[in-house]
Structure 1
Amino acid sequence: MNTGELMNWQTFKEKLLQHPGLTLQFQYASDTWVDASYHITEIKQAPITSVDCGGKMNSWTEIIVQLWEPAESDGSRAMQVNKALSIIQLVEKALPLNPLATVKIEFGNSQFDTRQMYPGDVIVDGENLIIDLNPDFTQCKAISRGGSCGTNDKGEECCAPATAEAKPKVALVNLAANSSSCTPGSGCC
């Protein structure tokens, strides 16, 4: 997986640690924020192992921070960064998190289907630390490493089953036909 431009867990935590007194906000669409009454319900560490269309095995780890927005807003301010850091500390006591893992934020509500998004820009705006969320994406790993997906340079499909190579035919000869065969009671068995 091409994770070079995506934020890792260590960087995500460092950004939070720089601003513990600010209010933590998440923007999931243009000028649309997760409601101030959100909760961080869990933090998941997901090791991923896959085989791509070029037959290459890939592995990486994701840390998924799940946000839950109650159906009814309680009208309070959004979570303070230091509260989020205390949740992270609690999680890391039970589950050591990979500092190089890719971070995703999982969120949805009645107007926005639940999905995993990548933290993008982290912006300080007055009393707010705003994490701008970018949509997840698909990619062809074979193409991104210079290979091909679909067809190779011979015009063969990379994902098609391999054709069996022609094997030489072997003539079967009945060696017992010209010699005496072993029959019950003959003493040869």
Structure 2
Amino acid sequence: MNQLHPMTWGEFKGTLEQNPDLHLQFQYEGDKFVDSSFHITEIKQAPIVSVDCGGQMNSWTEVIVQLWEPSITKANRSMQVRKALKIVNLVEKSLPLNPNATVKIEFGNSKFDTRQMYPGEFVAGGEAFTVNLVPDFTQCKALTRNQSCGTTSADAKSDLVGADAASCQPGSGCC
């Protein structure tokens, strides 16, 4: 996975389906793993519509798998991938999940602030199937289009509400 093209829900689910008998683990930081007694508490599908600082509308869908660690460890081993897929199938009976949606894993505990992370590398070894999670990131979409913040084009600068088009130039500090 690279940061410009995060994994889709269809790719993530397909990878899980190839490893049903392995025990699912999530590695969230260095050598830290979500406790083996984790639960998948919900799967959310979130349509996102935004307008970036360059005035361009963007839209995409995210599927967010939320993990929870109970305060008392009740399992010595994590759930098998097949059990996670049963939860996915139960969700998809009520909420068809967009296979092209960006997938994120939401997790936090008392030592790790709750955040959404991308599934990165998958490692199958022994009885374990480990999903290495990588941090989400922010970006300036206008800059990736060679625009400056607060400007849509030379013609549209005067149309921006509340922006001084003359002062909102690269390096001006307007955003």
TM-score range, shorter chain: 0.7 to 0.9
Larger Rg: 1
Counterpart in the other structure of 1:180: none
Counterpart in the other structure of 1:111: 111
TM-score, with length taken from structure 2: 0.85
Aligned-pair distance for 1:51? Answer: 0.5
Q: Write out aligned runs for 1:28-47 (5 A).
A: 28-47=28-47
Q: Does 1:16 align with 2:16?
A: yes
Please give the secondary structure, in 1, of the residue aligned with 2:74. coil
1:91–1:163 CA distance, 2 compared to 1 (3 A)? same
Deviations 1:71-123 (A, max 9, x none): 11113310100000000000000001100000000000011111100000011
How far apart, in 1, do the equivalents of 2:27 and 2:163 lie?
47
How far apart, in 2, do the equivalents of 1:110 and 1:82 lie?
28
How far apart, in 1, do the equivalents of 2:163 and 2:4 lie?
33
How far apart, in 1, do the equivalents of 2:32 and 2:120 lie?
15
How far apart, in 2, do the equivalents of 1:75 and 1:11 lie?
28
TM-score, with length taken from structure 1: 0.78
How far apart, in 1, do the equivalents of 2:153 and 2:97 lie?
42
Give the root-mean-square deviation of aligned CA atoms.
2.5
Q: Write out aligned runs for 1:1-189 (5 A).
A: 4-149=4-149, 161-162=162-163
Aligned-pair distance for 1:149? Answer: 2.3
Instruction: Answer whether contact 2:53 2:151 (CA < 8 A) is retained.
Output: no
Deviates more, 1:140-149 or 1:39-48: 140-149
Deviations 1:41-73 (A, max 9, x none): 000000000000001110000000000000111
Please give the secondary structure, in 1, of the residue aligned with 2:88. helix
Instruction: Answer whether contact 1:3 1:102 (CA < 8 A) is retained.
Output: no
Please give the secondary structure, in 1, of the residue aligned with 2:89. helix
Instruction: Answer whether contact 1:61 1:101 (CA < 8 A) is retained.
Output: yes
Deviations 1:15-42 (A, max 9, x none): 0000000000000001100000000000
What amino acid sits opposite 1:161 in the alignment?
G
Aligned-pair distance for 1:147? Answer: 1.8
Aligned-pair distance for 1:163? Answer: 5.3
Counterpart in the other structure of 1:171: none
1:79–1:143 CA distance, 2 compared to 1 (3 A)? same
| Structure 1 unmatched ranges of 5 or more | 165-189
What amino acid sits opposite 1:106 in the alignment?
E
Query: What is the number of equivalent residue pairs in this alignment?
Result: 162
1:91–1:74 CA distance, 2 compared to 1 (3 A)? same
Aligned-pair distance for 1:145? Answer: 2.1
How far apart, in 2, do the equivalents of 1:162 and 1:78 lie?
53
1:150–1:50 CA distance, 2 compared to 1 (3 A)? closer
What amino acid sits opposite 1:93 in the alignment?
K
1:22–1:52 CA distance, 2 compared to 1 (3 A)? same
